[in-house]
Amino acid sequence: MSKFWSDIVHTLTPYVPGEQPKLKNLIKLNTNENPYPPSPKVLEALKAEAAETLRLYPDPNSDKLKSAIANYYGLQANQVFVGNGSDEILAHVFQALLKHDKPLLFPDITYSFYPVYCGLYQIQYKTVALNQQFEIDIEDYLQPNGGIILPNPNAPTGIPLPLAKIEQLFKRNPESVVVVDEAYVDFGTESAVRLIQQNPNLLVTQTLSKSRSLAGLRVGFALGHPDLIEALIRVKDSFNSYPIDRFAEAGAIAAMQDQAYFEHTCQQVVATRERLVKDMQALGFDVLPSGANFIFAKHRVKAGCELSAQLREQGIIVRQFQSPARIKEYLRITIGTEAQSQALISALTQLI
């Protein structure tokens, strides 16, 4: 507390990211990172950036990166916005597109950064309860609103919503922007990107942190109608002219271009997930259906906090949420390599 603070600072409840422990040799299954390294072509492109040219500013508009992303999805560059990780993009989205007279809607159990952004930009919002099965029911979003945002697949549940449902959501809310946060979409959930051309109120956000193994590089993007993108550009150019550094641009371009590597590693993660789900079910876990690179699972007997603490003693870190009460018994477990997955199952077998 300080008299020098702007009023807003006193009211903020910042987001708390998953722990980034500084110990080595942990099996780190708590922040949904990809267990596989970035593409060798990405590393090569990055090495080339460590050069004299770093004395110069990057392209403030990241035009080459926008083109690479547009090419990948068959869009135009003016349908693409890029930022310093998808969290920065979401921050701009909340400020530029989601502050209206009616409340913003999002699920009661979802990415816990959403209410934080609402606090930062003083956006009124209303949470919509997931159903008994932790699913999003889009009928619940047919109420007056100033915008809708939801992750697909949802976090931390991992449950994917079929594209036909997403489509109803923005078709039946034509006066609102509908933001589909597809941070985890590449692990088996159907993307809404191909519906962008026909739908001016649909914005899709994605990240290179998960499916392209580049959490350490900080690049995310948004795709949508040029009018929506224009709003994001205006806010970005009133905030920071150069958010994407030379490494981030070069690495992200190489990552978007190496489709074979991307598809191969995503398939590996999905295959490991399918095996892990079966093994966990055999150990007495209820596992929610996942279209993500993590699972959300509850043991029928053992408490979530107890399991989480015991795994930690064995050097395995998973994420467990204290609130809301409905998800307290669940563990959110990132899909690791096959070996990490087997180590997890061995540890759980001992504990249960």
Query: Footprint of a copy of itself on residues 229-258 (CB under 8 A)?
Result: 230-231, 233-235, 237-248, 251
In the chain, what is the greatest distance between 2 CA atoms, to the nearest angstrom? 59
Q: Which stretch binds a copy of itself (CB under 8 A): 4-12, 132-140, 156-164, 300-308?
A: 4-12
CA 83 to the chain's CA centroid: 14
Check: CB of residue 29 under 8 Å from CB of residue 336: yes
Among 115, 184, 173, 130, which Cα is nearest to 148's?
173
Check: CB of residue 311 under 8 Å from CB of residue 352: no
H helices of 188-258, in order, are 226-236, 246-257
By CB under 8 A, is residue 140 in contact with a copy of itself? no
Q: How far apart are CA 308 and CA 325, in angstroms?
A: 16
β-bridge pairing 125-128 and 178-181? unpaired
Nearer to a copy of itself, 268 or 310 (CB): 268
Residue with tokens 């979401």: 90
By CB under 8 A, is residue 58 in contact with a copy of itself? yes
Size, binding site for a copy of itself by CB under 8 A:
89
By CB under 8 A, is residue 199 in contact with a copy of itself? no
Nearer to a copy of itself, 128 or 229 (CB): 229
Residues of span 92-121 touching a copy of itself by CB under 8 A = 95-100, 116-117, 119-120
Please state the closest distance from residue 314 (CB atom) to a copy of itself, in A.
Answer: 20
By CB under 8 A, is residue 315 in contact with a copy of itself? no
- Extract the tokens encoding 169: 């959501």
Please state the closest distance from residue 22 (CB atom) to a copy of itself, in A.
Answer: 8
By CB under 8 A, is residue 28 in contact with a copy of itself? yes
By CB under 8 A, is residue 56 in contact with a copy of itself? yes
Please state the closest distance from residue 294 (CB atom) to a copy of itself, in A.
Answer: 14
By CB under 8 A, is residue 74 in contact with a copy of itself? no
Nearer to a copy of itself, 154 or 293 (CB): 293
User: In this chain, which of 24, 25, 51, 301 binds a copy of itself, going by CB under 8 A?
Assistant: 51
Please state the closest distance from residue 322 (CB atom) to a copy of itself, in A.
Answer: 18
Among 292, 270, 244, 265, which Cα is nearest to 68's?
244
Nearer to a copy of itself, 125 or 134 (CB): 125
Nearer to a copy of itself, 77 or 244 (CB): 244
By CB under 8 A, is residue 209 in contact with a copy of itself? yes
By CB under 8 A, is residue 267 in contact with a copy of itself? no
Q: How far apart are CA 92 and CA 117, in angstroms?
A: 9
User: In this chain, which of 33, 182, 186, 258 binds a copy of itself, going by CB under 8 A?
Assistant: 33
Element holding 63 (H helix, E strand): helix 63-73
Residue with tokens 């371009």: 253
Q: How far apart are CA 279 and CA 287, in angstroms?
A: 10
Please state the closest distance from residue 236 (CB atom) to a copy of itself, in A.
Answer: 8
Cβ of 351: how many Cβ atoms within 10 Å? 15
